A and B are shown apart, each in its own frame.
Chain A
């Protein structure tokens, strides 16, 4: 049916967001260890927290904020979602886009976390050279009775350790899939229009989800 394909992928995206997180002390960790630790830690919390399982938005957001977000590079993600128009945006617009897109992603996918408790994450062996500054950590999520789904994290080495800048679920980039959407918007209403649209979307999401 219409939803089947991307639905399957989205299912995994949710799990994807369950993954990256870790303590500040882990900044120097290897990328695969980072993904492993963060996923384990977050899933452990989700599994043991009834409030989260029942969809407590505020609690989920707090968890994601603390454990997951520090390991994402949202500026890079936003840039990739926007595409080449990024270059024609002012620094101030770039920052606003980043903030708005970050909020959108977090709001959307954090909630999905609440539906995840019985899957396991397997890391595939990391194929990278010691000097690499960009790596892909490949994982596979298995759930009882369903086909395993691949989730790959693209990480980049920064001064603050490895940062995730893309999540690819069953071959679909969570980030670059926005590009068509965003470039339409920019074409029609300019960069200011895109910012306004994302911010409006965030507002309506916030209203719908509430702080609960």
Chain B
């Protein structure tokens, strides 16, 4: 099922890539027009199918059972996570993931319990798209895939590898069992985000835009394994004038900042100078490209 919808998505994507590419102000979203349409379609599908099913599922299944189901599917992904960590030059993490799989599959009763986490072996989140990123491949344009949701060109091209691994354990099962499992995994995944949709609706002026930026930022975070420096501007402090006053000038935004700092509100600003870390820091992991 995944495989099929994927290849469908893929050909559709490639078609779009070829056809689209019109001028756009967003450097990472040249297909915004198409993406927005697909976003709406996906939302409708979710509302019509996935969400109602997930709601029923939550009503029927007690919380601990849902936890076990989540653990079970998470455990099946462990070997592939391990392989990707290895490909990214992180043997220690790869070993951690392999041990997690061994412990949880056995003592954790086929992965239903995540005893490895409790034993100090943290769960990692890796996929082949992240591996390609570590190898130096750029994101490429943002794409909203049919059914599958937000992605980038690189991650879309990488996902056949993820699917292929996914097929490994499934190939041992008969069709019915397999479909039930795939369905269960999907519903369980969706159920975890019930109630959040509303927050998202409420939080944004432009849901598509917010979702996209959110996705891209989170993806970056994952690629860097969380070691992502945050950089903050302080537009009230043109330079590091340490008198805690505000820049109330109305100068051109790009122009050099004048120093007519003017105390303004009751809320004194801090005097922290800008954090000097570059926004696009290089990957910190220096041991990349330790081949296959």
List of A residues within 8 angstroms of B210 by Cβ: 6, 177-178, 180-181
The answer to whether A150 touches B226, judged by C-beta atoms less than 8 angstroms apart, is yes
Choose among A144, A156, A180, A197 the residue that contacts B67 (Cβ–Cβ < 8 A).
Answer: A144
Choose among B211, B236, B252 the residue that contacts A2 (Cβ–Cβ < 8 A).
Answer: B211
Interface residues of B in 233-263 (CB under 8 A from A): 233-236, 244, 246-254, 257
List of A residues within 8 angstroms of B46 by Cβ: 1-3
A interface residues, how many (CB within 8 angstroms): 72
Choose among B189, B198, B253, B275 the residue that contacts A88 (Cβ–Cβ < 8 A).
Answer: B253
Choose among B148, B211, B247, B250 the residue that contacts A90 (Cβ–Cβ < 8 A).
Answer: B250
Measured as residues with beta carbon below 8 angstroms from the partner, the interface class of chain B is 35 or more
Majority secondary structure of chain A interface residues (helix, strand, loop or mixed) = helix
The answer to whether A145 touches B235, judged by C-beta atoms less than 8 angstroms apart, is no
Interface residues of B (CB under 8 A from A): 26, 39, 42-43, 46, 50, 63-64, 66-68, 70-71, 74, 123, 125, 144, 147-150, 186, 189-190, 192-193, 195-200, 202-206, 209-215, 217-222, 224, 226, 228, 230, 232-236, 244, 246-254, 257, 264-265, 267-272, 275
Known: A79-B234, A168-B230, A171-B228. 16 other contacts (CB 8 A): A2-B150, A6-B210, A7-B192, A13-B199, A76-B236, A76-B269, A79-B236, A86-B235, A87-B251, A91-B264, A111-B199, A158-B269, A170-B218, A176-B217, A180-B212, A181-B204
The list of the 10 closest CB pairs from A to B, nearest first, reads A145-B67, A171-B221, A7-B193, A2-B149, A6-B214, A86-B235, A2-B42, A108-B203, A156-B270, A7-B196
Between A and B, 21 residue pairs with Cβ closer than 8 Å are A1-B186, A2-B211, A4-B189, A4-B190, A5-B150, A8-B192, A9-B214, A10-B199, A10-B200, A79-B234, A85-B253, A108-B202, A156-B270, A157-B270, A158-B270, A172-B217, A177-B214, A180-B26, A180-B209, A181-B204, A201-B205
